[in-house]
Each structure stands twice: as C-alpha cells, then as structure tokens.
Structure 1
C-alpha cells in the first residue's frame, strides 16, 4: 500500500495541523501518522487560506519523504487535476461547437430515439416443426353423404363441395344420433359440421313440422356476432319454408323476441344469458321437444364464465322434458309414459371446441352420456395437449419495437395495409384503448394536410403546430374504411359494424377479444395483436380469424424487448414465429409523410399525434383513460405469463409516450382519478360578481328548527295547545 500526505507547521503554534505522508511497504514505522488526517482534497480546500511567505518562513510545507521518491511526489493529485481539466476543456469545446437552431433541428435529437440499443437474447427457432392438422384429408365430397337432395343442391349452390377433415369424421356420427365431443382447429368448418345434420333431420320429419311443434334444436354460442354469423349460415342452407330459424341475443328487444317464440321457432341460436332468461320467464318458450343441443366454442363459453348458465340450462331442459311426459289420462288408462314408449327420443348433445382442456372434459361428462370423442388431428394419441394447432397457411411473425415507437410503428403498418386489398383485425386489450385509437387514427391518420411535404420549419416537418391556410386544408389520404368493435357497444351498433366490416371491400377493424372466437370473415388476411394475449388460447383464437378454410393469411404480434420471452413460450407450444421485416412499413411511412428520412418521418407523425391530443380535450381524456385501462390490464396477467408481461419491469413513462401523451404517469393517474383536469378554470357568473360585496348574500341560510316530539310529555287531559308564555317584567333602575 502507498499513502500520501503532507505536514503543515506553524511557528506560532507548535501543534501539527495536518500531515501528508508517503509510505511504502518496505518503509519502517518511524513516521508518525496523525490522529485526524485529511482524507480528501475537498477537506484540504476547506482549510483557511493564509498567505505563504517562503522567505520569512512563517508558513512552510514540509515534505516527509525519501530522496528517491521526490520525482513521484503528488502524482496522484496531478493526474486527477489533469483529468478534471481535460473534462472541462471538452465541455467548453462542446459548448462552442454546438450548431445553431437549424442545424440542431436537422439532427432530430428526440426522446423517441433515446433508446438506441437493447439486448435481444431470445433464440428464434424459425425452422421448427409445428403441429399441423390437415384441413382436407381424402377429398371426399358432400354428394357421398346420405343427406336430402334439396339440401345437397343448396350446398352446391354456395360452392360447398369437398368435405374437410373434421366434417368427414363427424357428420356420419352425428347423423347416427350419437353424442359427440369434437375438437378441431379454427376455420375448419365446425359450424357446417352440425348445421347439415340438424337441417337434414328436420327436413326428413313426416309429417312436416308446424310452428306449434316447438323448438327442435338449440345452438348456444358465446358472442352476439357469432350468433348472427351462425344464423346467416343456416339461412343460406335452409330454403325450406316450413323450418323456422331464429336467434336470441343480449341487447335485442325482449318483446320482439317473445313474439318470435310465441309464433313458433324450430332452430334457435342464442347466447347463454338471454337464452336462460327466456327459458325461465317466457311462457311461450316451448322446449319440451328439443332433439339436439349444441354448445359451440365450448372453451370460450367456459372462459367467459357461462358454466353455471349452461348447467342450469341443461337442468331446465331435463325438467321440461319430464313434465311433458306426464299424462294423467294415460296413467288412468294404464298406458306407458311417453319417455318409456318406443317413439320417445333422447336429446342429442354436441360439444365443439378448438382446444381440449380439463374443463371441457368435465362439461362433456355432465351434459352427455356415452359420448364419442372426435379429434380432427390424426396424431391425437401422441400429441401433447399443450401443443397449439394453427393452420399452416398462416404466416406468423413478430415485431420487436421500442416502447415509445409502438404507436408510429402501428400507424406505419396500417398505412401499408390500407394500400392493399384485404381486411385487417387489430386486437387491443381494453375497450378504452379501442375507442381512443379509433378516434386518433380516424381524425389524424386517415386525414392529413394537403401538401404536407411543404409544411416544414427548417428540415423538420411540424404538422398541427402551425396555422394552415385554406389551400393546406386536410383531406382523406387513405382509401380504407376504419371500424371499431367491443363489448361495451350497444347491440345495434355492434350489428351495424360487424355487417359493415364483412361487406366492405377493404377495411381495418380495431377490436377486443369479443370477436376472437368463431367469427368468419373470408377476406381477412392479416391479424395484428397490438397487446399480448392473457392466455395461450387467446393467441390461438386471434390468429384463427385468418387462414380459414385453406386460405392464406398472416399474423403479426407486437412485442417489446422486455416481452421477447413470449416467443420462447410459443415455441414450447410448437408455434414458431419469424421476425417481421419493418423496412417496407417504414418506406411506406416515408412516402405517406413525403419525407425521405425515416427518423424525420417517425418524428413528424409522433409530433402530429402529440399536438392533436394536447389541443383536443376530449381526445386527451380518452388517451388518459386508455393508458389507465392498459396499466390495469397489464398488471392482471395470470401467474404463468406474469414473468413475461410484468408491469414492474417496464418503463411506464415510455408507455405514456406510446399513447401520445406528454404528461408523466403520475399526472395521468391524477387526471383519471379526477384530482386534476386539463380543462380551463371555471369563470364566475357576471351577474353574481356584481353582488360580491353584499354581506346578505354571504350569510348562510338559517337552519330549520328541529321538530320535537311532545307525545311523551303531554297529558291525556291536555287541550294540545302550547302553554302561554309569561311576559317578563321590565326592571327600571332609579
């Protein structure tokens, strides 16, 4: 060890002020060490400065060292001074070498690009072998099935010719009247699997069905959109006028639905809540002769919490069937009850699901007896149930982006998709996020200023920060229809949006998981997952909205660097993703913004969003609530996905920027809680301001006198009048 020090002596005082000693390992112990040495240069600088006169020798510095070490004295202090001086000179040079405002604007130092690099540690196994389910196995045709000839002609009319794998395995078993548990991938034609046997059975009933015969088949689906879609499919196949098909959905007029049930319905498609409501409270609901009960998307029914409703539904159907068999006149005549007669039929139950879980197996055991399990996958015996089965026609990719650039990257993707034919689903976590992004993109992405390339200050494109002339008015620049859909919308709006999106030539639907199950949009060719799914099944069903019936499609999921482990989790489920090349999206963004530099184009669009949100109070409020709902969603991930999507590991301030907000997360939380608002202060009423000094207006209103009960203090012989008060005599002082 080597220590440094010096000894400072004064002639007036014999005491030692400080000692600075250089000591080597080989040096003896003859040097005295002070009790309170000065440990740093800061403490040395605090010593009172006195003039040093070397000639008079009043103050002198005594060096305690050996002659050979004189050259090494104060090396450490000198090196530190040199470093400080070099650092100061470097800062001064930077200050003098700073460019002017125009040069600084050209470099675009913005917070969006503060994260220049982050570690990517996940290993992408893009060549992994996925579990593939064959959609068409043998090429068998519908004409080979034993179904009614008129039903066969309706199938050919709508270009249904070749059976899918699940249809080939399931339809003959269902036609035989057996209970079935069917598992097949999304988009494999499960709806047609039970629609054909139901219609074929009802057509072959002789004599023909009448409206008074009651409901013959009940189909339970999880969402309203799926109910409308299933009803539409039955309408295509059912050209038989005596077979009545209808649907019941939450949000519809109950009186209208009662009128339908009173007139008579044979095939009823319904959501669980509204179906159970009519079954318990509508007397016109005749379910005594139900021959078939279908639970479509059974896994989704359980996920949405409809298990109790389904159990109650099955119990009520059993009770109505028992009451229908009670015939007192037949008992007096000695005849057998109807359920014991040869003509009585047991109710057939069908469960269909894209995944097979423990809950599905328990539900099948409760609702069915002696059921047949049909798996469309040939290797079902050797396949792990945790493996996801996604059509091989879907190209699955991911985009690894910085948090603060997510909003602009999504905008660039939508700009690219808007120039192509097809339809795009954009899945988001909450209804507030859907509402906010829909309004933001509709106002400030689909519409842009004319000649926006000329609206520059220096080299930076500043949109919405300068006043536009009439010649620079905004116009619609993207030829695409934008839609939104979530569970908080009323039924009429949901129906209009769903039908409008299906009929549109090309469109973008911003939605929640309410349309992630069973929805069939044939032209949907791209699925975008802007927020991660809260379960593995959600990812499976989101991707299943494309690549249906053998068509090709693509799926893109947005992930941050903190969420990249989700790729490894999908690989454990035999789902292998490739990284998507974002260069084409950025080129489209540059062309769209009329800005050749990518950084400048990204910065210009982000500034446009931020400026628009700060000016629009309603949009700013929506942005705050959208961020708040996202934070609640992100903190509610289940335990299996919590290590990947962990709110404690992310920079929430960067996520605030990704919503186009300039405030801090704490300020946004205060705005949401109502403790702070972005509205102007309330102005006083002028009429009230004139009476500001009037004391009478400032007096509080007199309190009402409490009413005292006198029932316990009044005699029964009393007249009820209050006793007269005696007047006090005035006393006069002499």
Structure 2
C-alpha cells in the first residue's frame, strides 16, 4: 500500500501540497525511498483523491484515513497541527483586508496606472546646467533718434501714406539703408529680425516709379523683381506694397507655387511693374512664359537671402540672374531697328564672361551673415555697400542678435512628459489674448499633433475633469448632461507646413492673423520674415538645427520693439545646448511650471501628477481607437527619428541619436508599441502609397545623364527599311527540315 502525506504551507493554500511518496517492500524484499516532489492539485495523483478529503478538517476528524483508488489501497495522512488556531488567524487577516479595501483602492489603482504608463519612473535625473548665469547679450538699437519718414527725400504722397499706416519714426536700419538705396547703389543689409527691413526696399522702389515722367504704363513691363523664400512671405510683402501704393498706374503682383499658372500668365500678359515671388515659380515663368519680359528690370531684391541659400535655391537664383542678363542683352540688339536706320548708338552689350547684373540695382537683406551670403554677394554685385547697425566692436559672426524685448526661457522635462507638457502650455494660452508659434521638425509631426490636440484637447468640454484618469473615455463616446458646458476651449488651433495646398496655406495664414487667440503648429516654413504683430510667444518643441534657425524662430515675436517670450523644450540629455547658446551671448532662464495648474483645473485633479496621467491616458486611448490617428502618430515618430539623426556634426555631442531611449520617445507620441513594431507599420504604410508623378514639361533644369539614359527607349525598326520592294508583305513560310 502507498502512503501520501499532505502538509499545508504557512498561507494555508490547498492548491499546492508537499507530497512524500513511499513504497512498501519491493519484490526483492528491499525497502526503498522514492523521489521527493511537489505536486499541484491538478496532478493525476491528487485528481483521484475523493473531494470529501478537500473539505476543511474539524478538530475531531481522523488524521489518518485509508482510501481505495482503483485496485490499490492508499493511505492519506493529514499533518495539520493547530488547524483551528490558524483558521482563526486567517479569518482575522481577511477581515483586515476587507476593511482596508475601500481606503486602498485609489492608492492601488494609482500604483497600477503608474506601472502601466511608467510616466513617473524617471525621478532621479538632475539638471547640471547652472540656471543662474546672466550676461550682457548683444543688443541692437531698433529705433533711430527722432528721424521721421517726412525728412526723407521721397514723394510727399508716399510719405503721407506711411503716416496713415502709423509708420512715423524710422528704425535704425531704415535710417542708414534707405538713403543708400534711394541713390541707386547696390547694398548688402544685415539686421535683426523684426527691424523693418521690408520698408528699406519698398519705399525706394515705389518712389522711383512714382517720379517717372511720363507716367509708367502696363506695357512698360517689369521694373522690379523681389525674390523671397516662402509663399506666406510673398503674400505678406504684397500686402505691404498694397498699403503704400495708392497710385493706380503702378501694378504690383506676386507669383507663388501652387497657384494657377494660367491666371499668372494672364496677369503677366496684361503687365506688372513690381513682381514678388518664390525662386522656383519665378524661374518657371522665365523659362516657359513668353509674356515674362525682364528687359526693363531696374531693381532685383533678395529678401531673407540666408534662408534662400539654406533651402537650396542657389542654383535657381543663379539661373534667374542669367536669364535676366540675357533679356537685357536682347534689348540692346534690335535688328529691325537697324534696318530702319534707328537706334544706331547701341549700348555696349554685357559680355558672356561677365556674370554680374550690370545696370540693375541689387539689394540683399539677411538677419545673419554667412560665407554663402558673401559668395552670393560677390556673384551678383561688383561694388556694393555693407550696412548694419551694430557697433564695429560688437561685430562677429559667432554672436547672435536677439531683440532685447524677448524673454528667453528653457524647459527641461522628461522625455515621457513632453507631449503632456506641450498640451498644458496650450491650455494655459486660453487665459490670455495672444498668438503662439509652435515649431516642430517635420510635416508629419505637425499633422499628428494638430489632429491629436484638436480632438482630445481643444474640443474638450470645460467640465472635462469628469473623465477621471481611472475611467478615461473619449469625448465622442461620452454623453454629457444637458446642463454641462460643451463649448470647448476658447482657442483656435492652426497648422502650417510646406506640403499643404496653396489655398489652404493662404487660408491658414490669414485666419491666424485675424484670430484673437490662436496657436499655429508649424515647421520652419513660418520661421522667416512672417510678421504677426500679436504674436507674443514662441515655443520650440524640437531644437533647431543651426543658430540661424534659432534666431529666426525667436524673431517671430518682439518685432519692432514689442515684448514677447520664447521657450525651448529640452530633455536632460540635451541641456548642454543652453551652454552652447551662452557662448554666442544668448542667455536663457529656466521656465516655471505654473502652467500645470491650468491643466489641473481643466482635468479637475488637484494633484499635478494625476492630471498629467489623465491627459496622457486620454491621448493613448485616442490613438488606440482611431486607426487613422494611430497611423499619423507612427509616421510622426518615424519622421522625427530620421530628423534627429541628421543633426550636423558640431551638434552631435548635444543631440546624439545613439544615446536616446527610443521607447520613451514612443510614449511622447502617445504610442504604446515598441520602436521595432512602429518601424514595421511605417514600412507597410509607405510601400502602399504611390509616389507623386512630376510634370517633366515644367522642369527648370535638365535631367541628369543617368535619368536621360534610363528614359531612352530602344529604337523601333522600320518595316520600310527591312522589306524589299518586290515583297508581297506576307511573312515568309518556314520550310520544315526533312528527316534524314
């Protein structure tokens, strides 16, 4: 007979028992102790034990019992000393647990949530940058001392138009540059953003056309060409000219990519005197539009010249200058006039080796001075005057000039908190009237954050705190009561990037300028030259690639002496960037996190950690329930990772892609997958999209040798060259070979 001995552990769990198997004498008469094992209740041995033995044992129950299992007799031994005492202790323990359940539910739930999201797992990272460092930044005086536009040698009607639009006192750069440009000299002008550089060339160009006698006609064609890097800047400059130009005989037009080419051709055919456009579209019309006649051009302006070079327009600008030069040569040579005996004293034509634009006044304007700007200046102009407002002792390419009225701050935050911190900042902007630029690295990031904030933040009702972090549901699935306020946040959200349609970009730009409270999520396409007077805050969600980009981003606020603030997001691994800026005499102060109080009020959570967790959970649930939004989130993360790995060599020590925890950055995009899973999803999404087909007829430059060789097809053989004149035209009959 086999004997099994059961003994319960300290916790009195009947699921697992210690079983000792012992056999009687074997056939050879020897006694043997078999194995010592741990069996579970689901094992075959215990499954044959009657269920009556699994019941609680009373004090007078037998400690040994013999049970017949199958054909064998088995003895069960229960070793449970002091069972009743243990049972009483266990019952008391259960009562204590039940008593403290209600009190500990919230704590346990919070702990589980923290473990689930791990938003607060990083608590011991320190800020080693000295936040109290101050210094004297490089300051450029914006306004002149009492110089007014009426004192300039310009037409009196033009001066009165300037006064009507509150242009009274000249800025420092206007005081120095406008007299030089009025004399018709070439100029290279360097000044900080928001210092009024547009009027430096707008006033002289209009003044020249107003004073022409007889009055200029549409048939006289182009007189001035202004080249700008972006469509929004072209529209803005066009608006400035329209304000000053109350003279009906002077026509101002603009050419931008994305517009109707046929409409632009008709406009050029009727006649335009001042033309503002982007390099690509201008060159397109120069090469393919017969009505684009540049033989009478007197002035060429390159505004935001540093940005033109950064965007890769150097080749287009060079080709545009060459075409203008060819138009000037064709004007000097008129064979019909020679036959009629007219115009015998022909001007000396420009030689082929001379690449400068002779007889054309050229003006370059830039907020920074780089090697590329100097090379472009030498290419376009033989002689020019360099104009800036800084003192000679302060001149240096390594120093950055930021408007004095801008308060610059930095926010060092954990990677996982970046998304929620940005949302909290947007919520805080609803309290004050103003406009905010939020700069991001890629167009996919702009699309994703715009849609996410629109769905889960801007449209959140004022009593959105009802949706606790433990029971977070989407707004679309939650039914509000009739007395609940459901207007959403009093804030308009906009997006702007280069991949948008031209009509959309124009509508967004105009809508943002007209809005009382607005946030524009954009790429660096909005970083150059745009003038939004009410813009009081700049947020750089991703750090710029160069110091020039930092200047132009911050320059969207604090324009013409107005106050503003600029905030840049940095992680603990990127905080060395603050010291880099200090080397260029740009001093940032640490920002306070007062805006988290506004988030706590919106989510109706007194604790900031719970409010952060609630908003993060809302974002994650939004992605999990919306496939299209989740796809945009994956694309945004993928585009960000590609951007981050392309920082220049001098920035790699600060923004090093190899040192990043990509899993944490996935959380900052509200994604719950691993980076590998996201990469696979993105790969499938990209392969499913067909590439856009380009219109080869509108190409500005010739194809490369490889593409031209690939496009060539095999020549088709002509039947007339391979067929005899006596042939019937039928295919010859193939004779079968005779078998030998």
TM-score (norm 2): 0.76
Query: What's the counterpart of residue 418 of structure 1?
Result: 430
Residue 105 of structure 1 and its aligned partner are, at CA, apart by 2.0
Are residues 1:507 and 2:518 paired? yes
| CA 432–474 in structure 1, closer or farther in 2 if over 3 Å, else same | farther
Query: What's the counterpart of residue 181 of structure 2?
Result: 174
Residue 432 of structure 1 and its aligned partner are, at CA, apart by 0.4
| CA 201–103 in structure 1, closer or farther in 2 if over 3 Å, else same | same
Query: What's the counterpart of residue 559 of structure 1?
Result: 570
Paired residues of 2:460 and 2:475 also in contact (CA < 8 A): no
Secondary structure class of the residue paired with 2:199: helix
| CA 104–676 in structure 1, closer or farther in 2 if over 3 Å, else same | farther
**Aligned pair partner of 2:599 in 575, 589, 596:** 589
Query: What's the counterpart of residue 599 of structure 1?
Result: 609
Residue 123 of structure 1 and its aligned partner are, at CA, apart by 2.3
Are residues 1:619 and 2:629 paired? yes
Residue 647 of structure 1 and its aligned partner are, at CA, apart by 1.1
**Aligned pair partner of 2:380 in 367, 374, 380:** 367
Deviations along 1:423-478, one digit per CA (max 9) or x if unpaired, are 00000000000000000000100122574434448xx4634399633528893421
Residue 138 of structure 1 and its aligned partner are, at CA, apart by 1.4
Are residues 1:358 and 2:400 paired? no
Secondary structure class of the residue paired with 1:351: strand
Find the aligned partners of 1:503 and 1:470 in 2 and give their Cα distance: 32
Paired residues of 2:406 and 2:566 also in contact (CA < 8 A): yes
Are residues 1:631 and 2:641 paired? yes
Secondary structure class of the residue paired with 1:640: helix
Query: What's the counterpart of residue 27 of structure 2?
Result: none
Query: What's the counterpart of residue 542 of structure 2?
Result: 531
Are residues 1:280 and 2:284 paired? no
Trace 1:297-696 onto structure 2 (pairs within 5 A).
297-328=304-335, 329-330=337-338, 335-339=344-348, 346-377=359-390, 379-448=391-460, 451-456=463-468, 460=470, 462-464=472-474, 468-471=478-481, 475-582=486-593, 584-674=594-684
Query: What's the counterpart of residue 166 of structure 2?
Result: 159
Find the aligned partners of 2:551 and 2:396 in 1 and give their Cα distance: 16
Find the aligned partners of 1:359 and 1:156 in 2 and give their Cα distance: 37
Query: What's the counterpart of residue 224 of structure 1?
Result: 231
Find the aligned partners of 1:241 and 1:590 in 2 and give their Cα distance: 57
Deviations along 1:669-708, one digit per CA (max 9) or x if unpaired, are 111111999xxxxxxxxxxxxxxxxxxxxxxxxxxxxxxx
Find the aligned partners of 1:208 and 1:467 in 2 and give their Cα distance: 67
Find the aligned partners of 2:729 and 2:519 in 1 and give their Cα distance: 86
Deviations along 1:38-96, one digit per CA (max 9) or x if unpaired, are xxxxxxxxxxxxxxxxxxxxxxxxxxxxxxxxxxxxxxxxxxxxxxxxxxxxxxx9xx9
Find the aligned partners of 2:186 and 2:530 in 1 and give their Cα distance: 25
Query: What's the counterpart of residue 151 of structure 2?
Result: 144
Residue 338 of structure 1 and its aligned partner are, at CA, apart by 3.5
Paired residues of 1:434 and 1:486 also in contact (CA < 8 A): yes
Secondary structure class of the residue paired with 1:115: coil
Find the aligned partners of 1:226 and 1:717 in 2 and give their Cα distance: 67
Paired residues of 1:291 and 1:345 also in contact (CA < 8 A): no
Query: What's the counterpart of residue 30 of structure 1?
Result: none
| CA 243–674 in structure 1, closer or farther in 2 if over 3 Å, else same | same
Query: What's the counterpart of residue 200 of structure 2?
Result: 193
Trace 1:39-118 onto structure 2 (pairs within 5 A).
100-107=104-111, 109-110=114-115, 111-118=118-125
| CA 326–669 in structure 1, closer or farther in 2 if over 3 Å, else same | same
Q: How many residues align structurally?
A: 591
Residue 719 of structure 1 and its aligned partner are, at CA, apart by 10
Secondary structure class of the residue paired with 1:668: helix
Find the aligned partners of 1:720 and 1:327 in 2 and give their Cα distance: 63
Identify unmatched segments of 5+ residues in structure 1.
Answer: 1-92, 678-710, 725-734
Secondary structure class of the residue paired with 2:504: helix
Secondary structure class of the residue paired with 2:216: coil
Secondary structure class of the residue paired with 2:188: strand
Identify unmatched segments of 5+ residues in structure 2.
Answer: 1-92, 351-356, 688-721
Residue 718 of structure 1 and its aligned partner are, at CA, apart by 11
| CA 572–119 in structure 1, closer or farther in 2 if over 3 Å, else same | same
Paired residues of 2:420 and 2:616 also in contact (CA < 8 A): yes
Secondary structure class of the residue paired with 2:207: helix
Query: What's the counterpart of residue 247 of structure 1?
Result: 254
Query: What's the counterpart of residue 215 of structure 2?
Result: 208
Find the aligned partners of 1:364 and 1:427 in 2 and give their Cα distance: 30
| CA 125–325 in structure 1, closer or farther in 2 if over 3 Å, else same | farther
Paired residues of 2:460 and 2:489 also in contact (CA < 8 A): no
Secondary structure class of the residue paired with 2:225: strand
Over the residues paired in the alignment, what is the CA RMSD in angstroms?
A: 2.9
Paired residues of 2:468 and 2:614 also in contact (CA < 8 A): no
Are residues 1:292 and 2:282 paired? no
TM-score (norm 1): 0.77
Residue 418 of structure 1 and its aligned partner are, at CA, apart by 1.9
| CA 454–360 in structure 1, closer or farther in 2 if over 3 Å, else same | closer
Paired residues of 2:445 and 2:639 also in contact (CA < 8 A): yes
Paired residues of 1:124 and 1:568 also in contact (CA < 8 A): no
| CA 352–545 in structure 1, closer or farther in 2 if over 3 Å, else same | same
Paired residues of 1:216 and 1:289 also in contact (CA < 8 A): yes
Deviations along 1:644-682, one digit per CA (max 9) or x if unpaired, are 1111111110000000011111111111111999xxxxx
Find the aligned partners of 2:503 and 2:349 in 1 and give their Cα distance: 46
Residue 323 of structure 1 and its aligned partner are, at CA, apart by 1.2
